[in-house]
Amino acid sequence: MRATQLFDTGDIRTVDVPVPEPASGEVLIKVEAAGICGTDRHLYKGEFPSVPGKTLGHEFSGIVVDSGDTSFKEGVRVTCDPNTWCGTCDQCQRGRVNLCVNNVATGIHRDGGFAEYCAFPASKAVVLPAELDPVHGAFCEPLACTLHGMDIGAATAGEKILVIGGGVIGLMAVQIAKLAGAEVMLMTRSAEKQALGLSTGADHAVGSEEALRDIWPEGADLVVECAGVSATVATSPKLARTGGRVVILGVLPQGEQVPIEPFDLLFREVQMHFSFLNPFTHGRAAQLVADGTIAVAPLISRTISLDDAAEAIASPPPKGEVRAIVVPEKRTG
């Protein structure tokens, strides 16, 4: 089979490898769709730790074709929660499973979904409806991460919520905030993404702090940073109103530092939080995608073949792109 693997920093290739055999407790999944995440590009650049020689891809779904010794039925569609917690470390025992010191992340520590087939722990597979568009299943993992961040932010009806960043996480955060009954603003310099944000539920879409202040002079009750850019992380607390809160969902390269003014945070009592992974949210995400509560079709910028995946990960995303989806059955040309 074909699989896109990261061999070293800057060395990503789609190669021929054997079809994996599921170990005890695993199922074999024929991958239908896998999303290219910003984390995949961080891995390629060496900005995020990983294990060399592994197949990338942690946002994927597919069909169970070999159930092994599990209770899964062959032929069912599943979405794959990529994080396997140990359950025994101190963090797991405290319920903070996303901070598990022994976490095994599919697509980082073990082979992932940029492949024709993937052997995957049955305990982390969530069944999706047979009638669901196969490409939509690839959005469950990013939605699960977004849900965790929005849970931390605890949006309530009537609040003013600013979402920074018009990528897939930001546009999902817009929809979740709107479902909470908030007044929602999307901040992104991309005119295309501003329009997409408005079409998916945002009440306002702006490209600068000045434009935000024209509408909300005091700032936002909740700022959700989804861009993963040092400048927007640094600006986020300034855009929160006095007594407001900030949640950082965007991922910056390991080692990058951002200036923050503690005096301002203290005297305005602005709470600053960070959100990591998807603890106990993948099932909720799967349901929201399956019943169409969260619209994912508008977030699909393009579908590409597995043979085009390496180049797509190694290259900056095209202007206006939200999410590229790798479809293994698709052929180049």
Q: DSSP letter string over 250-317?
A: S-PPTT------HHHHHHTT-EEEE--S-TTTHHHHHHHHHTTSS--GGGEEEEE-GGGHHHHHHSPP
Superfamily of domain 2-131+296-326: Medium-chain alcohol dehydrogenases, catalytic domain (3.90.180.10)
Residues of the chain with pLDDT under 50: none
CATH 3.40.50.720 for the 144-274 domain, yes or no: yes
Of 14, 104, 111, 113, nearest to 59 by C-alpha is 113
The gap from C-alpha 39 to its chain's centroid, in whole angstroms, comes to 9
Which sequence spans correspond to the domains of the chain? Answer: 2-131+296-326, 144-274
3-state helix, strand, coil in the chain (%, to 5): 30, 30, 40
Enumerate residues 6+ apart whose C-beta is below 8 A from 122.
25, 26, 27, 67, 68, 70, 71, 72
Residues 50, 297: Cα–Cα separation, whole Å: 30
Mark out the alpha helices in 105-208 (DSSP H runs).
140-153, 168-179, 191-199
Q: Are 34 and 60 in contact (CB under 8 A)?
A: yes
Q: Are 114 and 309 in contact (CB under 8 A)?
A: yes
Of 113, 131, 96, nearest to 32 by C-alpha is 113
Enumerate residues 6+ apart whose C-beta is below 8 A from 211.
none
Mark residue 154 as left, alpha or beta (left: phi above 0; alpha: psi -120 to 50; beta: remaining): left
pLDDT at residue 333, as a whole number: 57
Report helix, strand or coil for 172. Answer: helix
Residues 198, 214: Cα–Cα separation, whole Å: 18
Residue 17, burial from CB neighbour count under 10 angstroms (0-12, 13-18, 19+): middle
Residue 224, burial from CB neighbour count under 10 angstroms (0-12, 13-18, 19+): buried
pLDDT digit string, tens, across residues 167-191: 999 999 999 999 999 999 999 999 9
Q: Which amino acid is at 102?
A: N
| Residue 136, number of CB atoms within 10 A of its CB | 24
Q: Which amino acid is at 77?
A: R
pLDDT at residue 47, as a whole number: 92
